[in-house]
Amino acid sequence: MPRGFGAAGSNVVSVVSGFSRTYNELNMKTATPAKGTLPERKRLFTTISGRPVEELYTPDDIASLDYQRDLADPGEFPYTRGIHPTGYRGKLWTMRQFAGFGTPEETNERYRQLLKAGGTGLSVAFDLPTLMGRDPDHELSLGEVGKCGVNVTSLADMETLFDGIDLAGITTSMTINSPASMIFAMYLVVAEKQGGGWRSLSGTIQNDILKEFIAQKEYIYPPRPSMRLITDVFTFCVEHVPRWNTISVSGYHIREAGATAAQELAFTLRDGVEYVQYGVDAGLDVDEFAPRLSFFFNSHSDFFEEIAKYRAARRIWAHVMRDRFKAKSPRSWQLRFHSQTAGVSLTAQQPYNNVVRTALQAMAAVLGGTQSLHTNSLDEALALPTADAATLALRTQQIIAHETGVTNIVDPLGGSYFVEKLTRDLEEETLAYFDTIDRMGGMVEAIEQGYPQREIAESSYRFQQAVEQRDKVIVGVNDFVAADHQPIQLLYIDDSASVRQLEKLERLRATRDNGRVQRALDVLKEGAKGAVNTMPLLIEAVRAYATVGEMCDALREVWGEYEETPII
């Protein structure tokens, strides 16, 4: 019996709660007998993150929401419904396909093809030696050169990578973290050599070391000097490259490592808080650098949970920036994000199914208001994508953009009882994680204690068990399994890239001014011991054609290397 329903005049006082209770009552009346005749397929229905989901959501579930305060029109604080008043009507998202393999020559060719096919931005995938700051001739580079991305050893490779591509006319995203400053320095010098200035240059470096410690594990230095490299980039860009996105705070890898949607959201946004705090502590005005921060989220298979995640992200970030950091500029409040469909959801079995998975995941990212998107290729559980598979992935985005009609409306799911409830739940869960991490002293401290790593390991194991028990069905893997295995055409990367990169490195060392290289590296080391900004020192080393490995080694000598205690 609804409280207050029988009191005199109460039908006027509690219109909202009166109606919503009626909705729930009605539902119980119809659903309960229905369950008797047709029992539900499962005892408990959950999202892919294990979040329990009710059969129906009603106005009751969003009774506490206030439209102006909690949602607001797109373009208005707290941006739950989007940061642009007109959504995709003015400008579609950037279709940015992550690509790179083999030598800079081969990747340059793929980039030209992607741009010709209508891609609107580039996204560089580097190989593991580059990502780990090792030259091709280092013992740990054995077999890794050019395999997972393009190998870039020195400025000479960067010049080749962007040969014939006008850097002033595109935006480039570079997925690079530990050696982000070194690679960014190379990009700046290439732009300069093409005759372009830095002030108008636009693009993104991932530059997010915290998620490396948490999830992807491509770290070099301990957390604190790593954070200094990042704040050096913030400071440098405020003055010299004001349109550059200095960091892409990434949940993608956190999710791929096994986090739930809420954990992805919480750890990513809390990483963002950490970077802003370090920037402020380094003496920057929050509104000077916060507008250049961007985010990168996964777009996984649980459709509504993902859409709610993006909406919650915008609302939480707006509040954090305005209330916690006292930012004044709306541009500091607005969370912009790139998204990528979930690599981890792709299956080696029946690979064509991956096209469907990717399309649905991409749709979630679009309905969540992404600013740019990468769609995975169908063959990526098996290898790096072939050119045809990469083109199909791009076509998937173009079909969503131009054929489905979803881009005509801003935040079409706003007001959905379920989506709004999920948005609120994810927000609350995130804020609870913020409290825990704040109590630990911050994200750097939480990482040092292994906290997010442990949380993720736990979730990933629980998910795997759910798959084993077929509580979660993966089509073609634990159900609907095909009897025969049809091989598909794959991109096979041989060792020729390694051979060629080693030759080029040898030639470089024989022809460059090695005295100038050494001097630049010595200055870099001295600078790293002190407190000067490392960016100008790296730019000088890059101009002298110092290699990624040489620059990273110089800093290894000063700062040492990080070793984690593995958490299973």
Binder among 46, 347, 386, 518 for another protein (CB under 8 A): 347
Q: Quick one: 456 or 508, whose CB is closer to another protein?
A: 456
In Å, the largest CA–CA distance within the chain is 94
- Cis peptide bond N-terminal to 136, omega within 30: no
Q: What angle do CA 61, 64, 65 make, to 5 degrees?
A: 95
Helix (H, G, I), strand (E, B) or coil at 327: coil
Q: Does 67 bind another protein (CB under 8 A)?
A: no
Q: Which residues pair with 94 in a beta bridge?
A: 372
Q: Tell me how far apart the alpha carbons of residues 409 and 113 are, in angstroms, rounded to a whole number.
A: 32
Among the listed residues 401, 477, 499, 558, the single contact to another protein using CB under 8 A: 477
User: Which structure tokens are listed for 465?
Assistant: 């068990």
| Least spacing, CB of residue 73 vs another protein, in Å | 40
Distance CA 237, CA 227 (A): 16
User: Cβ of residue 493: shortest distance to another protein, in angstroms?
Assistant: 6
Q: Phi first, then psi: what are they for 301, rounded to 5°? A: -85, -20
By beta-carbon proximity to another protein, the closer residue of 251 and 279 is 251
Question: Nearest CA to 53 among 414, 415, 303?
Answer: 303
Residue 217 touches another protein, criterion: CB under 8 A: yes
Nearer Cβ to another protein, position 271 or 427? 271
Separation of alpha carbons 64 and 421, rounded Å: 10
In the bound state with another protein, the residue whose beta carbon lies nearer, of 435 and 563, is 563
Assess 520 for contact with another protein (CB under 8 A): no
Taking CB under 8 A as the criterion, the residue among 81, 110, 147, 424 binding another protein is: 147
- Per CB under 8 A, the list member of 200, 464, 489, 511 interacting with another protein is 464
Are 288 and 238 within 8 A, CB to CB?
A: yes
Q: String of b and e for 166-182 (b: at least 16 CB within 10 Å)?
A: ebeebbbbbbbbbbbbb
- Segment contacting another protein (CB under 8 A): 142-150, 222-230, 420-428, 526-534? 142-150
Applying CB under 8 A, the span of 21-29, 221-229, 296-304, 342-350 interacting with another protein comes to 342-350
For the bound state, the minimum distance from the C-beta of residue 15 to another protein, rounded and expressed in Å, comes to 50
Binds another protein (CB under 8 A): choice among 42, 492, 510, 530 = 492
Quote the least distance from Cβ 271 to another protein, whole Å.
Answer: 17
Q: Whole-angstrom Cα distance, residue 535 to residue 557?
A: 18
Find, among 302, 300, 322, 304, the residue nearest to 312 by Cα: 304
CB of 189 to another protein, least distance (A): 26
Look at residues 492, 493, 483, 490 and name the one whose alpha carbon lies nearest to residue 350: 483
Residue 474 within binding range of another protein, rule CB under 8 A: yes
Q: Which of residues 381-400 bind another protein (CB under 8 A)?
A: 381-384
Tell me the window of 2-10, 65-73, 459-467, 540-548 that interacts with another protein (CB under 8 A).
459-467
| Distance (Å, whole) CA 433 – CA 263 | 8
* Least spacing, CB of residue 463 vs another protein, in Å: 9
Site stretch for another protein (CB under 8 A), options 104-112, 260-268, 276-284, 486-494: 486-494
CA distance linking residue 534 with residue 432, whole number of Å: 36
Residue 564 touching another protein (CB under 8 A): yes
For residues 299 and 309, what is the distance between their CA atoms, to the nearest angstrom?
Answer: 9
d(CA 148, CA 132): 12
Residue 349 within binding range of another protein, rule CB under 8 A: yes
Q: 469 by DSSP, 3-state: which?
A: coil
Answer yes or no whether residue 348 interacts with another protein by CB under 8 A.
yes
Q: Does 457 bind another protein (CB under 8 A)?
A: yes
Q: Which residues bind another protein (CB under 8 A)?
A: 128-129, 131-132, 134, 139-144, 147-148, 212, 216-219, 256-258, 344, 346-349, 381-384, 457, 460-461, 464, 467-468, 474, 476-478, 487, 490, 492-493, 563-564, 566-568
